[in-house]
């Protein structure tokens, strides 16, 4: 081991592997992945708390637990937090940690850019929530339709925290997308062709393409909104010759690819986890890859299915309906391939597998309600009601969250070296399954029986009190599941069973190295000949021993965190409604970037 | 071993329950979509049901296969499954199968889309439904009537509802009448520009008299949840009687009050409580925002109060329409309905309030 330490040249002071400074200046993809995951899980608790507050308020009709304005802030932030501060970053956490390991690389292509993304995310997320301190958290819905979000109808800071905060977060996402694409295309181990990559990495690639193309659309939409609010333009002001509907088009052109950005990582996780617990390779690998790519493409052509009540006219309605229902086909293909993977296998019901099963079962239900929503006339009943809330929670909680938890339980041993407890895992699982179904299934009915979305209360005479009461109880049961998970993590970090390199006898490359991996990931880059390298011959002996030659790792740097602070500052300064503070901020960013570019490779 | 597949079984059971429950939605859900009273509503419900059964077929198959797999292929000692990488025939099968179902759903969908955008045959009655933060203005341009929050309609007559908004986006939804559509804000018209206003339209014919509840379905600000409305569908004769009442301005000026069109002069205490209330109304400035047919009050910022006495609620579904609630509302509307734009009137004396409320109740 001493030999290994001596042969790693990764900078000097930063040879210090512990302490706050080493985390602040880290460019190691594994550490950044951990920071992303911890931050996202904290936001998950915040968003979950917001959900519980919503459910307390809605548990009975004409309740006064939360005032209208506070409720509007809470539901807006629940959605915004869960999507932008949890859903997207947690996938990035996993991409960060796992993708380089799966492709046999030592780190991502741009380690400092990686760190920059994280710090921008951290500061941006905090900024968006600062509004709570002023009772001015965003309160216009996570989708921010104009003209409600223009200065005339939301004069306060609420919409500013939202538009500026999301602008900031978008930058982090785009940078991450660029990073992962470059990494996956360029840094694969020898012999790992694209069609030999693990599915998780494939989905990361497709998702990253969606990120770098969709987020800029959102950035444009947000810039238009910010300029309307701060600098007096009229992009969205119908009364002055602009068009309020423009926001919806721009938002959903981003927004629909966004939901695929959210779910593709979960598809990737399932595709990798199922083989490990069924002892069979993924069925129809090619079709799963192609259907993922196809979903990525077609996903650009369905955005106005969020707008069927807008009155776009029969031709537009019909076009988007056709595209939406067509996209159901590749989605179904994936589900059938997962079922076929399990068929004929020998299934071990460990916790990761349980979550996979729940994901398949619940995502299918979400897909079914999605088909309903894709037919405009039927949608005129369902849109803007709790039916839609049921749909997207089934695909997001049932699909994304269940998939993510399968990933957590699967990869926790690799990251920490210890297993999560199976018994607590089963408690987590069952509380989630019972809680989530109890919360979201009745919402289909609540919507069809007349409950619109985004309402802080509902009339007694609608007789929806009982359904809402059941939903609220379900919410609390789900929360208990989160507690079980938290307890499991805390306990297992100290007392969990030691994992070893490959506790699941899985087939992908990350399981070849130690748990946790050393800073350099693999002592030697393996030669890949098949899709299941660990079942077909790559052994730990090759890659997990001490390094046989000096390995040069990227040096730590403090420029990412400084640049992140400068970027945040620049956008926040738009709120002064003057032109020169943001320009000053941009100059500061330029300064940081120049220093970053000229930073010597290994000097600190 | 039973617990794992029992979970999947539960999902299947829930789905089956859904099928049963849907068929039995009782009548006491006033905003249920399952009790349509219009041709439009019946048409889209028909499509909904068609889609429902096809999707249930897919759901049941997928979940049943999952349950079977979990039982049949649970891990047995010594089992070494064959490494199967794929099967082209299966892929074709489960691509074509869903594609066929998609076609079955799309064909009636597209037909229904085009049919429901089509104007009906014959002359529809035109109603303008104009969204305000947070109440509904209803105008009958051909009849010369304006009202708020309570929409009277004749049965068995095609209706054309034109949807617009004066501020943010709203969404007109009365489930029993059918689907919903956005109320979009209007572009300002250039000087000299006459018609050419854009609006959304809903077409339907109400087939059953009755009262139907609805509310705004697009988040429109603080009190979005309390932007409710009621539709009163009546036989043609009753509807005509209502229209006549609304157009008769003389009903809204109590006896003993100065004639409309003349300045209300401060007089010796008028005889009736209603007449005193009329004076209070004019003096307190209510006419700046409200209109009452036949009186000098022609404000357009707030709901038209002609006929307020017989409306089902105060504050667009906030409270029952009682004298006590009316008084509370006038004193402090924003205190009852968050961010309501009505001014407060804390300084009216009890006597003045009593008279004012009496006058407003005389407007039935």
* Encoded tokens for B114: 């085009």
Q: Which residue from A minimizes the CA distance to B227?
A: A455
User: Which residue, among B1, B33, B70, B165, would best test binding to A if mutated, counting the most A CBs under 10 Å from its CB?
Assistant: B33
Compute φ and ψ for B101, nearest 5 degrees.
Answer: -60, -40
Yes or no: is domain B2-76+87-117 CATH 1.10.287.90?
A: yes
In a domain, A122, yes or no: yes
CB contact under 8 A, A329 and B178: no
pLDDT value for A545: 74
- Helices A386-393 & A422-448 angle (0-180, nearest 10): 160
Q: How far is CA A250 from CA A145, A245, A264, B247, in A?
A: 11, 9, 22, 46
B55 vs A311, A357, A371: nearest CB: A371
CB contact under 8 A, B117 and A313: yes
Q: Does B95 touch chain A (CB under 8 A)?
A: yes
Q: Which residue from B minimizes the CA distance to A354?
A: B4
In a domain, A577, yes or no: yes
Domain B249-362: homologous superfamily in CATH: Cupredoxins -  blue copper proteins (2.60.40.420)
Q: Give A-chain residues touching B167 at CB under 8 angstroms.
A: 147, 153
CB contact under 8 A, A145 and B169: yes
A470 and A603 fall within a common domain: no
- Helices A351-373 & A386-393 angle (0-180, nearest 10): 150
pLDDT value for A13: 37
B51 vs A311, A378, A454: nearest CB: A378
CB contact under 8 A, B168 and A376: no
CB contact under 8 A, A339 and B62: yes
Q: Which residue from B minimizes the CA distance to A440?
A: B14
In a domain, A456, yes or no: yes
How close is the nearest chain A Cα to the Cα of B2, in Å? 11
A559 and A549 fall within a common domain: no
User: Which residue, among B81, B176, B318, B319, would best test binding to A if mutated, counting the most A CBs under 10 Å from its CB?
Assistant: B81
Give the mean model confidence (pLDDT) for residues A577-586.
94
Q: Is the pLDDT of residue A344 over 80?
A: yes
Please, what is the average pLDDT of chain A? Answer: 92
Chain B, residues 293-312, CB within 8 A of chain A, namely: none
pLDDT value for B9: 64
Q: Count other C-beta atoms under 10 Å from residue A49's C-beta.
A: 14
A–B CB contacts, 8 A cutoff, strictly below: 291
How close is the nearest chain B Cα to the Cα of A130, in Å? 21
Q: Is the pLDDT of residue A257 over 70?
A: yes
A575 and A455 fall within a common domain: no
Q: Does B116 touch chain A (CB under 8 A)?
A: yes
CB contact under 8 A, B95 and A385: no
A547 and A604 fall within a common domain: no
A276 and A337 fall within a common domain: yes
Domain positions in chain B are 2-76+87-117, 125-246, 249-362
Q: For domain B125-246, give the CATH number.
A: 2.60.40.420
pLDDT value for B167: 92
For B186-243, write each residue's pLDDT tens digit.
776 555 555 556 789 999 999 999 999 999 999 999 999 999 999 999 999 999 999 9
Q: Which residue from A minimizes the CA distance to B181?
A: A309
In a domain, A476, yes or no: yes
- Helices A402-416 & A244-278 angle (0-180, nearest 10): 60
CB contact under 8 A, A463 and B173: no
Q: Give A-chain residues touching B218 at CB under 8 angstroms.
A: 145, 309, 384
Q: Which of A517, A538, A554 is the last residue of a domain?
A: A554
Give the contacts of A170 (CB within 8 A, at least 6 positions apart).
A215, A216, A218, A219, A222
Domain count, chain A: 2
A453 and A578 fall within a common domain: no
CB contact under 8 A, B90 and A336: yes
Q: Give B-chain residues touching A279 at CB under 8 angstroms.
A: 79-81
Residues A479, A463 contacting (CB under 8 angstroms):
no
pLDDT value for B1: 46
Q: Does B66 touch chain A (CB under 8 A)?
A: yes
Q: Give A-chain residues touching B317 at CB under 8 angstroms.
A: 459
For A63-120, write each residue's pLDDT tens digit.
999 999 999 999 999 999 999 999 999 999 999 999 999 999 999 999 999 999 999 9
CB contact under 8 A, B187 and A239: yes
| Cis upstream peptide for B355 (omega within 30°) | no
Q: Does A73 touch chain B (CB under 8 A)?
A: no
Residue A291 is part of which domain span? 26-554
Give the mean model confidence (pLDDT) for residues A250-262.
97
Q: Does A195 touch chain B (CB under 8 A)?
A: no
Q: Is the pLDDT of residue A17 over 80?
A: no
For B96-111, write each residue's pLDDT tens digit.
999 999 999 999 999 9
Q: Give B-chain residues touching A368 at CB under 8 angstroms.
A: 55-56, 58-59
In a domain, A99, yes or no: yes
A204 and A266 fall within a common domain: yes
Q: Does B60 touch chain A (CB under 8 A)?
A: no
Q: Which residue from B minimizes the CA distance to A458?
A: B225
Give the Cα separation of B109 and B115 in Å (integer): 10
A137 and A231 fall within a common domain: yes
Q: Which residue from A minimizes the CA distance to B49?
A: A378
Which helix (H) or strand (E) segment holds residue B108: the answer is helix B88-117
Give the contacts of A51 (CB within 8 A, at least 6 positions apart).
A78, A475
pLDDT value for A393: 98
Q: Residue written as tokens 């985390």?
A: A23
- Helices A314-342 & A244-278 angle (0-180, nearest 10): 10
How close is the nearest chain A Cα to the Cα of B317, in Å? 8
How close is the nearest chain B Cα to the Cα of A61, in Å? 11
B66 vs A287, A360, A380: nearest CB: A360
Residue A571: closest CA among A79, A112, A168: A168
User: Which residue, among B3, B12, B14, B31, would best test binding to A if mutated, counting the most A CBs under 10 Å from its CB?
Assistant: B31
Q: What ipTM does this complex have?
A: 0.91
Q: Residue written as tokens 């049941």?
A: B60
Give the Cα separation of A412 and A433 in Å (integer): 21
Q: Does A365 touch chain B (CB under 8 A)?
A: yes
Question: Long-range contact list for A578-586, CB < 8 A, 24+ apart?
Answer: A579/A231
Q: Residue written as tokens 């990737």?
A: A268
Residues A397, A479 contacting (CB under 8 angstroms):
no
b or e along B36-62 (b: 16 or more beta carbons within 10 Å of the residue's beta carbon)?
bbbbbbebbbebbebbbebbbebbeeb
How close is the nearest chain B Cα to the Cα of A205, in Å? 22
Q: Which residue has the higher pLDDT, A480 or B188?
A: A480
A94 and A105 fall within a common domain: yes
Give the Cα separation of B81 and B293 in Å (integer): 83
One fold for both B125-246 and B249-362? yes
CB contact under 8 A, B180 and A345: no
Q: Does B10 touch chain A (CB under 8 A)?
A: yes
A590 and A513 fall within a common domain: no
Q: How far is CA A85 from CA A82, A91, A129, in A?
A: 6, 11, 11
Q: Residue written as tokens 């000096």?
A: A550
The answer to pTM > 0.95 is no
A256 and A160 fall within a common domain: yes
Chain A, residues 539-598, CB within 8 A of chain B, namely: none
Q: Does B319 touch chain A (CB under 8 A)?
A: no
A113 and A54 fall within a common domain: yes
Q: How many residues does chain B have?
A: 364
Q: Which residue from B minimizes the CA distance to A315?
A: B114
B59 vs A349, A365, A453: nearest CB: A365
* Residue A5 pLDDT class (50, 70, 90 cuts): very low
B7 vs A313, A379, A433: nearest CB: A433
How close is the nearest chain B Cα to the Cα of A451, in Å? 8
Q: Is the pLDDT of residue A207 over 70?
A: yes
Chain B, residues 215-234, CB within 8 A of chain A, namely: 215-226, 228
How close is the nearest chain B Cα to the Cα of A29, in Å? 32
In a domain, A289, yes or no: yes
CB contact under 8 A, A430 and B7: yes
Task: Give every strand in the sheet of B150-154, ordered side by side.
Answer: B150-154, B228-234, B210-215
- Ranges of chain B whose pLDDT falls below 70: 1-27, 188-197, 258-270
For B257-274, write each residue's pLDDT tens digit.
766 566 555 555 567 899
């Amino acid at each position: 081991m001493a030999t290994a330490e001596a042969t790693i040249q990764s900078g000097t002071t930063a040879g210090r592997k512990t302490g706050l400074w080493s985390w602040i200046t880290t460019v190691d993809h594994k550490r950044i992945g951990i920071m992303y995951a911890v931050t996202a899980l904290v936001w998950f608790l915040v968003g979950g708390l917001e959900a519980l507050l919503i459910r307390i308020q809605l548990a009975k009709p004409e309740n006064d637990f939360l005032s209208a304005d506070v409720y509007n802030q809470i539901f807006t932030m629940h959605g915004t937090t869960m999507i932008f501060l949890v859903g997207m970053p947690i996938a990035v956490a996993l991409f960060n940690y796992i993708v380089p390991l799966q492709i046999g690389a030592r780190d991502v292509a741009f380690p400092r850019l990686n760190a920059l993304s994280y710090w921008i995310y951290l500061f941006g997320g905090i900024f968006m929530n600062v509004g709570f301190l002023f009772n001015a958290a965003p309160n216009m819905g996570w989708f921010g339709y104009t003209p409600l979000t223009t200065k005339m109808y939301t004069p306060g800071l609420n919409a500013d925290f939202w538009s500026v905060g999301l602008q900031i977060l978008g930058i982090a996402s785009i940078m991450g997308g660029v990073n992962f694409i470059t990494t996956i295309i360029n840094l694969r181990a020898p012999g790992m062709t694209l069609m030999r990559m693990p599915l998780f990495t494939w989905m990361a690639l497709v998702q990253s393409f969606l990120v770098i193309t969709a987020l800029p659309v959102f950035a444009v939409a947000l810039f238009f909104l910010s300029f309307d609010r701060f600098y007096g333009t009229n992009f969205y002001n119908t009364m002055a010759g602009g068009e309020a509907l423009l926001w919806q088009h721009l938002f959903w052109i981003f927004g629909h690819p966004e939901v695929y950005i959210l779910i593709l990582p979960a598809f990737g996780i399932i595709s990798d986890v199922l083989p490990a617990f069924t002892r069979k390779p993924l069925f129809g690998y090619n079709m799963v890859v192609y259907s993922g790519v196809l979903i990525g493409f077609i996903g650009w052509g369905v955005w106005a299915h969020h707008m069927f009540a807008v009155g776009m006219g029969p031709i537009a309605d019909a076009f988007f309906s056709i595209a939406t229902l067509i996209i159901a086909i590749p989605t179904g293909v994936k589900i059938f391939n997962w079922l076929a993977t399990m068929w004929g296998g020998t299934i071990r019901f460990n916790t990761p597998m349980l979550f996979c099963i729940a994901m398949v079962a619940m995502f299918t239900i979400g897909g079914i309600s999605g088909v309903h929503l894709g037919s405009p006339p039927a949608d005129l009943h369902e849109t803007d009601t709790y039916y839609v809330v049921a749909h997207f929670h089934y695909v997001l909680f049932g699909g994304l969250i269940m998939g993510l938890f399968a990933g957590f339980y699967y990869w926790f041993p690799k990251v920490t070296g210890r297993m999560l407890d199976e018994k607590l895992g089963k408690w987590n699982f069952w509380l989630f399954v019972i809680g989530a179904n109890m919360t979201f299934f009745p919402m289909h009915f609540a919507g069809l029986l007349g409950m619109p979305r985004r309402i802080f209360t509902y009339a007694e005479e609608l007789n929806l009190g009982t359904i809402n009461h059941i939903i609220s109880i379900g919410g609390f049961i789900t929360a208990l599941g989160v507690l079980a998970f938290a307890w499991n993590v805390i306990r297992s970090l100290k007392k969990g069973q030691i994992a070893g390199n490959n506790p699941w006898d899985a087939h992908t490359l990350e399981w070849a190295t130690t748990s946790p991996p050393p800073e350099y990931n693999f002592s030697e880059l393996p030669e890949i000949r098949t899709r299941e390298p660990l079942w077909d011959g790559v052994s730990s002996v090759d890659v997990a021993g001490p390094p046989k030659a000096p390995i040069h790792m990227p040096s730590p740097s403090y420029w990412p965190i400084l640049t992140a602070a400068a970027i945040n500052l620049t956008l926040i300064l738009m709120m002064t409604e003057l032109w020169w503070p943001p320009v000053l901020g941009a100059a500061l960013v330029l300064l940081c970037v120049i220093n970053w570019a000229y930073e010597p490779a290994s000097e600190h | 071993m039973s617990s794992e597949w029992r979970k999947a079984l539960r999902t299947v059971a829930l789905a089956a329950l859904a099928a049963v429950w849907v068929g039995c939605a009782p009548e006491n859900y006033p905003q249920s979509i399952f009790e349509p009273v219009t041709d439009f509503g019946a048409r889209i419900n028909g499509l909904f049901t068609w889609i429902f059964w096809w999707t249930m077929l897919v759901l049941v198959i997928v979940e049943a296969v999952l349950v079977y797999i979990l039982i049949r292929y649970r891990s047995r000692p010594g089992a070494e499954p064959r490494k199967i990488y794929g099967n082209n025939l299966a892929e074709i099968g489960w691509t074509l199968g869903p594609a066929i179902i998609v076609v079955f759903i799309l064909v009636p969908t597209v037909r229904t889309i085009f049919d429901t955008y089509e104007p009906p045959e014959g002359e529809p009655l035109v109603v303008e439904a104009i969204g305000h933060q947070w109440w509904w203005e209803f105008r009958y341009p051909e009849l010369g009537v304006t009202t708020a929050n309570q929409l009277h309609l004749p049965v068995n007559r095609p209706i054309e509802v034109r949807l617009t908004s004066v501020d943010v986006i709203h969404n007109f939804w009365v489930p029993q009448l059918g689907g919903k559509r956005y109320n979009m804000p209007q572009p300002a018209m250039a000087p000299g520009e006459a018609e050419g206003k854009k609006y959304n339209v809903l077409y339907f014919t109400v087939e059953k008299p009755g009262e139907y509840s609805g509310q705004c379905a697009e988040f429109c600000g603080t009190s979005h949840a309390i932007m409710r409305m009621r539709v009163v569908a009546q036989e043609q004769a009753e509807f005509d009687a209502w229209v006549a009442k609304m157009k008769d301005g003389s009903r809204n000026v109590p006896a003993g009050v100065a004639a409309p069109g003349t300045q209300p002069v401060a007089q010796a205490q008028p005889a009736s409580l209603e007449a005193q209330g009329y004076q209070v109304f004019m003096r307190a400035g209510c006419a700046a925002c409200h209109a009452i047919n036949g009186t000098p009050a022609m404000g357009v910022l707030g709901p038209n109060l002609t006929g307020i006495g017989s409306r089902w609620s105060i504050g667009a579904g906030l409270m029952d329409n009682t004298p006590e609630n009316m008084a509370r509302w006038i004193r402090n509307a924003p205190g009852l309905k968050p961010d309501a734009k009505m001014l407060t009137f804390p300084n009216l004396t009890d006597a003045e309030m009593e008279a004012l409320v009496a006058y407003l109740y005389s407007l039935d």
